Structure 1
């Protein structure tokens, strides 16, 4: 089977981190990348970087707040029209990570995490699917997290948001069987980005951004339905996932951030 070489790509959260890295990857490969984010200056800088490097692909900046569902749907429709009817690849990457310890719970933080990581991500996928299904090909990708596999101390909202995205994408994959459209979920661990730079706790198996992008792009090219990485951390988290609640919760409680 020939390697997946998308020519038209839409990526949310493309102004920094994993989204920016993926946008550059596909621009280097010759794709037209609709790079969506709120920070217009950062998107313009990304587009200039690609143009100055004379890469074979193109960055199309898309100023977008992903929590505006109507604007999100319009942006994807516009990218589809520019691509001739349907996009080859749509990546729901935009996400936020904020501490939400239950002893100091702030409902505003909880809402923001769920709005971006669940509602906006699911809308991204849902808005892209009809055109792909009608064409009988295409790939939708959601960036979840290893945090989806267990409730971690101080991160109730983040873990819940990624667990919801995990289950949503599983259901989407079930429905898409035989349609020609692929639905993939990526579960990264800790990666050096603006988001993790704020963390004040140990981050085992911390990956360099370029290494993480390479792993993600390779998984997408293979059509990996669920990609957990890095392997060491993924194995450890999955082992925790197998522990019964009576053992896990006291153990996890030792790591609470007060």
Structure 2
């Protein structure tokens, strides 16, 4: 049981689950967190993972007490993680003119931002005391520029980038690393309903392999795939009128209950 330990939220599907599989392949012990804990436990059994090396924790990252308790239990049962990956997140289209969509914004920020900080919270002090550990925030290239109909998600992921940058400064010289990963398009349930083209689309497994290497290499910031990083930087350089014309006819992220068109 001397193998390193990784704590991953959002592990019941998508990026989180693919990262769990990649870390398991590398021989790590796993602390896996999801609201759908029964579904996650079934996946663990289906993968044939050693029960002594894996613990599943039921928690909702939007519930501060819930995710803090999961972190406390992880330390108690498995020890202090070497890596914590905050990958739980949601992506829902919104229209500011529609009253109920303000609730979508509130929910998105609660999960994608407050939930991320709450995921790190139980571990930061102990990692500083140990003078070792890695905190990984999953952002998105959607953080680079705001996309029509995607205000909640873009705002939340821009906040992830800024928050992780702040936390990296706070942890400087403490032995604790903070890594910001910005996925481009990855084939997951979050992107399955996107009604627009998704250049450089990766499978969740391809993304997990590249993210695993980036985290292990000591990178502080990485766009995956790198091609999307180039595209994102070019988009940032576009003058606003040109950017607005370029995306004027782009499909919008479906709102809750809408069908992609």
**Same-fold call, TM > 0.5?**
yes
Q: Is 1:59 the equivalent of 2:54?
A: yes
Q: Which runs of 4+ in 1 moved over 4 A?
A: none
Q: Is 1:171 the equivalent of 2:169?
A: no
CA contact (8 A) 2:15 2:87 kept: yes
Question: Unaligned 5+ residue runs, structure 1?
Answer: none
Out of 28, 33, 46, the position equivalent to 1:31 is: 28
Give the 5 Å matches for 1:242-257. 242-255=237-250, 257=252
Q: Is 1:74 the equivalent of 2:63?
A: no
Out of 85, 88, 94, the position equivalent to 2:82 is: 88
Out of 91, 94, 113, the position equivalent to 1:97 is: 91
Which region of structure 1 is more displaced relative to structure 2, 60-69 or 121-130? 121-130
How many residues are aligned here?
Answer: 251
Secondary structure of the corresponding residue to residue 57 of structure 2: strand
Over residues 102-134 of structure 1, what are the superposed CA-to-partner deviations in whole Å (9 max), with x where a residue is unaligned?
Answer: 454611111111111111012112332111011
CA contact (8 A) 1:21 1:213 kept: yes
For residue 223 of structure 1, report the CA deviation from its aligned partner: 1.4
State the TM-score, normalizing by the size of structure 2: 0.90
Question: Whole-Å Cα distance in 2 between the matches of residues 49 and 21 of structure 1?
Answer: 14
Label 1:108 to 1:6 Cα distance change in 2 as closer, same or farther (>3 A).
farther
Q: Is 1:22 the equivalent of 2:16?
A: no
CA contact (8 A) 2:96 2:102 kept: no
CA contact (8 A) 1:38 1:64 kept: yes
CA contact (8 A) 1:6 1:89 kept: no
For residue 232 of structure 1, report the CA deviation from its aligned partner: 1.9
Partner residue, 2:113: 118
For residue 197 of structure 1, report the CA deviation from its aligned partner: 1.1
For residue 83 of structure 1, report the CA deviation from its aligned partner: 3.2
CA contact (8 A) 2:11 2:17 kept: yes
Question: Whole-Å Cα distance in 1 between the matches of residues 68 and 49 of structure 2?
Answer: 31
Out of 227, 231, 236, the position equivalent to 1:241 is: 236
Question: Whole-Å Cα distance in 2 between the matches of residues 256 and 21 of structure 1?
Answer: 28
Question: Whole-Å Cα distance in 2 between the matches of residues 131 and 53 of structure 1?
Answer: 28
Give the 5 Å matches for 1:172-211. 172-211=167-206
Partner residue, 1:7: 4
